[in-house]
Structure 1
């Protein structure tokens, strides 16, 4: 009879390899039980990982859409807040100018004009606001401040109205400068430094948001026009002509009040954009939750089966240690 045996050192290596193998299995099973996910997805899915890859790709896309929607929501809210402030300023200044009594003194008219100049500067500040280091009313050029300073604009207008002696001529000169086409040296060239509006941003799988409002939009430009017209008295226009000065202020106030509905319409467009963004965010969150559930189903480890496998591995390890202990007690003298 042939007896096959291995030496003590070889047996020790064999026992150590078996121990390491069981310990590795035990560590893997413990990790699966704690994380709830299987360690070997390929074996779990029998090599068919196409569905899981598709789910992961769609989740990554939805994550990007979620980021775009959050950025668009913050941007539109910032624009809405700015226009709300501009609307409030226009109404206050417009009513004060338009409803001023006929017997207003030159000193009071000068104060009203200075107030309009201060309001003009405040409006410029609101329109030059930022959210997340992006300018709100610069259109596609969101990294560029949309408007020049109030002083720069009023200085350019002062040159336009120099020498004019009637309220109608001053108001017309200011209006022509604000409405001048690009390339003719008016507001679009001297004061506005942003880009065109209308750039689309995807915020959902089938939803994009397009913001067309910029500081060059007619409703915003007309608000600036009305305030700048009233501020011309503070810059020396119509000096010494109280009747024409009063006419100019009242005309500027009337223009501001008449522009109020257009500003409200601009705010309504932003409000609709905000509604679209909120809907896209809700739909995206629901789709993400569904896909995450499907992904977890494919990747999850059965806790009962995993616990049973851990118990089996512990038993094997204990048995191996018992065998090693028994073998370590064998002596040649006892064998003889």
Structure 2
């Protein structure tokens, strides 16, 4: 009769290995129960991880779209705030300049013109605003401020209208300078530093937003035109002819008031862009929630099955410890 036996040292190693396996299983099951996700995802999916990989890739894409949409929303809000401030400045100054009384003195004309110069400086400051280090009204050249300073513009216009003696001629000359095409030495060449196209941003699956409002937009250019026209008196233009100076201020005020609907339309365009961005954000959040639910379904561990497996592992470990305890108490006399 063949008797097979195992030595004490070998038995100790075998018991230690069994204990280690059970403890590892128990730790894995405990981690699954606390996290709610299976530890061996490949085994759970039978090696077919294509669906899960597709979900993860789409979630990453939606996360990028979310960031783009947040940036576009901040950009559009900055533009809307700037346009609102410009409209407020233009309407306030426009009314004051247009209804200036006929008995206006030279000193009052100069004061009103200085007010227009301050308004021009404020509007250019709004135009040169930025969000997240991107200038709002520079178009594709978003790393560059769109406009030179108000002082530079007025210095250029002062030289352009130098020698003109009537308000009509000055208004026409200023208008021609602002409306001149590229290469003609006007506003586009001297004062504008931005790009010609708008900023295009992908903000969702199949959704792209284009923020096309720049400092070259006609409504903004006409606001600058009216303010600059009124500010020329502060530079000494028509200083010796109060009557022509008053007509110049009234013409500038009327131009600012006439341009108000165009500014409102520009605000509406930006407002529509904000609506598209908000809709895209809502759709993106809904899609992300759906995909996260699908991903969790693939990765989640069954809490009831996991709890049962933990109980089974604990029972095995307790049984193993009982066996080890009984073996450690055996004596040679008991064996014989």
CA distance in 2 between partners of 1:16 and 1:139 (Å): 71
CA distance in 1 between partners of 2:164 and 2:303 (Å): 88
2:275 is matched with 275
Which secondary structure state, in structure 1, belongs to the residue aligned with residue 78 of structure 2?
A: helix
TM-score by length of 2: 0.98
1:110 is matched with 110
Determine if the alignment matches structure 1 residue 315 to structure 2 residue 315. Answer: yes
1:149 is matched with 149
Q: Deviations over 1:110-135 (max 9, x none)?
A: 10000000000000111111111211
Contact 1:139 1:196 in 2 (8 A): yes
State the Cα distance separating 1:334 from its structure 2 match.
4.1
Which secondary structure state, in structure 2, belongs to the residue aligned with residue 70 of structure 1?
A: helix
2:167 is matched with 167
Which secondary structure state, in structure 2, belongs to the residue aligned with residue 203 of structure 1?
A: strand
TM-score by length of 1: 0.98
Which secondary structure state, in structure 2, belongs to the residue aligned with residue 321 of structure 1?
A: helix
1:324 is matched with 324
Q: Deviations over 1:44-96 (max 9, x none)?
A: 11111111111111111111111111111111011000000000000000000
1:7 is matched with 7
State the Cα distance separating 1:327 from its structure 2 match.
1.6
Contact 1:38 1:300 in 2 (8 A): yes
Which secondary structure state, in structure 1, belongs to the residue aligned with residue 214 of structure 2?
A: coil
1:248 is matched with 248
CA distance in 2 between partners of 1:236 and 1:223 (Å): 21
State the Cα distance separating 1:311 from its structure 2 match.
0.5
2:178 is matched with 178
State the Cα distance separating 1:333 from its structure 2 match.
4.5
CA distance in 2 between partners of 1:187 and 1:303 (Å): 70
Q: RMSD of aligned C-alpha atoms?
A: 1.1
CA distance in 2 between partners of 1:252 and 1:52 (Å): 64
Count of aligned pairs between the two proteins? 336
Which secondary structure state, in structure 2, belongs to the residue aligned with residue 232 of structure 1?
A: helix
State the Cα distance separating 1:331 from its structure 2 match.
2.9
Unaligned runs of 5+ in 1: none
Determine if the alignment matches structure 1 residue 216 to structure 2 residue 212. Answer: no
Which secondary structure state, in structure 1, belongs to the residue aligned with residue 327 of structure 2?
A: helix
CA distance in 2 between partners of 1:326 and 1:157 (Å): 105
Unaligned runs of 5+ in 2: none
